[in-house]
Each structure stands twice: as C-alpha cells, then as structure tokens.
Structure 1
Amino acid sequence: MFRYEKTSLIKNCTLEDLYEFHLDSNNLVKITPPDMKVTMLNDSFEAKEDEILRLKTEKKFMPIPIYWEVKILKNQKPNLLVDFAMKSPFRYWKHSHIFTKRGNSVELKDEVLYVLPFGKIGKLFNFFVERELEKMFNYRHKVTKEILSQQNNIN
C-alpha cells in the first residue's frame, strides 16, 4: 500500500469555512486541474456518512473516461471527511481530508492510501502515479486557498 500526503496552511480562514467548502461537491469541479475534467453523475449529493458520489473523470491526454463511485466513510464536523472509492482505477483508495485549527489559520491535510492494480507490475508505475497526485493536490490546495482567501476578504 502506498501513502500520499499533502499539507497546506490557509491563513485567515476558519475551520468551519474549510469544512463547509469540502462538503460542497460542486467545489470539486472548481479545484480540479485544467488538464482534467470532472463530471458529477449524481442528481444531488450530500456528504453524509454512507452517501455515494458518482463521478466521471477525463484527462486531456487520455481518450477513455474513468468512472468513480466514492462512499463517505466518516464525516466528523468540522475536522474530518473520509471517502473510500468503491469503484475507481485503483485496487484500493481511501482519502482523508483533515482540518486542524492553527492560530488564526487552518491546516488542510489530504492523506491518500492507495493500492495500484496489476500487483507487482502496477507497483512499477507508482512513480508516475505519485507525480500525478502531487500535481493534482498542489493545484487543489492552491485553488482552495485562493477561493477561501477571496471569500474571507469579502466577509
């Protein structure tokens, strides 16, 4: 099993704002990198435990869409959201969104535990998967900071 982790500090943001931002599935589209497209397949979705979010992802360089079914395992307001991919390109995917108050800032931590398909052969490709995860989460954290900073400057 592999582990990927990304942590950022968002200044002048409340724990509640960061938590609420992650509850809104529409924000996933906003924080998706430009070389990827995410389409929500649910008519509506509420990030409650046991709810399932259905997604279609498409990368510019890959002509085949990838379908995901992600179940919310834990929702502990305002510190934790954990989702688990029931259907994905991974053999195993568990993603924890951890929110921690740090003075007048909030720490956003994404932790992903994953297993690649194809056993030992799949492990050979982890370098590429890690690189893609790093690009994706760097972008997500950057845009999340920008959106929440603008939101907090308006309020």
Structure 2
Amino acid sequence: MATIYLLQRTQLIPATPEEVWNYFSTPGNLSHITPAYLRFTVTSPPYTGQVYPGQVITYTVAPIAGIPLEWMTEITHVAYLDYFVDEQRVGPYSIWHHEHHFQIVPGGVKMTDIVHYRLPFGWLGKIAHSLFVKKQLENLFAYRHKAVEKIFGKVTVAP
C-alpha cells in the first residue's frame, strides 16, 4: 500500500489577517515564495478576486532535472481569513491536499500549512521520497519561510 506523508509548518507573520490572507490567497504571489530553480510559473489567467471553492489554478514546475511538469490545483474549501484548501487535480503527486490556516495571535498572524501527499509508483515512489522528495519539500518550505520574512518581517512579540 502506498504511504501518505504529512508535512506541517507554522510561521508567525507580523501583519493584519487581511494582508496575510490577500497575499497567500493570490495565486500570482506563489512564484515570489518558491525557489527559482523549480521554475514555478502560474499559467492560469490572472485573477484579482477573492479565492473561492471550485477555483482552478494551473502551473508549470520543474522539480526533477529541470523537466517541466504541468500542475493543476482546485480550491476546495474556503473560510475567509481562517483557512483555505487546495487539492491537486493534475500533477506530480497521487494525492496533494494542502491546508492553509490563519490564526490571529499577538503581533500578527500564525500561519500553518498542513500538507498530506502521496507519491505515485508504489515502492519506487517511497524510494524517491526518501532519496529526494522529502528533502525537496522541506527545502521549499524553508525557502518560503525566509521569503515571507523578507516580505512581511519577523514577529517581535511572542504569542
């Protein structure tokens, strides 16, 4: 049976809930918080409205040897200023379920990402996960953490 993996990260952001929500729910901003070597590009037409259930977003990404892959996610759940969920419909994973949670705390917003994912190809996927996929995702979220600090700054008040 294929393994479902969990990645969870939390970051404190010194901004208003509206600022944080608007930034993270705007697909065009994803490329600003993704390492350049992944060649991540949003290919959906620009959209400036509020994120909504049923919204489909398309991208290209090159996670392995610079080979571009198509990726399509659908926003499946939205609770304004609280959370939204994107799920992969086409892409490199068998399952990709990404929850974005936002909680008001002293000094700003606590953002929590919860990602459940499964790789294709059974035991080959498990080997790929242990060799490079897990590390690549950890590096991606570490890069994102630093990029968000450059955009919003660091929280100076402990929650």
TM-score, structure 2 as length reference: 0.86
Could you list the runs of 5+ residues in structure 2 that have no partner in the other structure?
Answer: 155-159
Verify: 1:134 aligned to 2:138, yes or no: yes
Verify: 1:85 aligned to 2:93, yes or no: no
Supply the distance in 1 between the matched residues of 2:21 and 2:101 (Cα, whole angstroms).
9
Supply the distance in 2 between the matched residues of 1:74 and 1:145 (Cα, whole angstroms).
26
User: Does the aligned pair in 1 maintain the 2:73–2:86 contact within 8 Å?
Assistant: yes
Map Cα deviations across residues 62-102 of structure 1 (whole Å, 9 max, x no partner).
Answer: 23201101000111110101000000111110111111111
Could you list the runs of 5+ residues in structure 1 that have no partner in the other structure?
Answer: 151-155
Supply the distance in 2 between the matched residues of 1:129 and 1:93 (Cα, whole angstroms).
13
Supply the distance in 1 between the matched residues of 2:45 and 2:129 (Cα, whole angstroms).
34
**Match of 1:17, SS?**
helix
Question: 2:45 — aligned with what?
Answer: 43
Letter matched to residue 87 of structure 2: F
The 5-angstrom pairing of residues 5-154 of structure 1 reads: 5-10=8-13, 12-45=14-47, 46=49, 47-59=51-63, 62-127=65-130, 128-149=132-153
**Match of 1:124, SS?**
helix
User: Does the aligned pair in 1 maintain the 2:6–2:115 contact within 8 Å?
Assistant: yes
Supply the distance in 1 between the matched residues of 2:5 and 2:115 (Cα, whole angstroms).
8
Q: 1:3 aligns with which of 6, 12, 17?
A: 6
Question: 1:153 — aligned with what?
Answer: none
TM-score, structure 1 as length reference: 0.88
Segments of 4+ moved more than 3 angstroms:
none
Q: Report the CA distance between 1:33 and its aligned residue.
A: 0.8
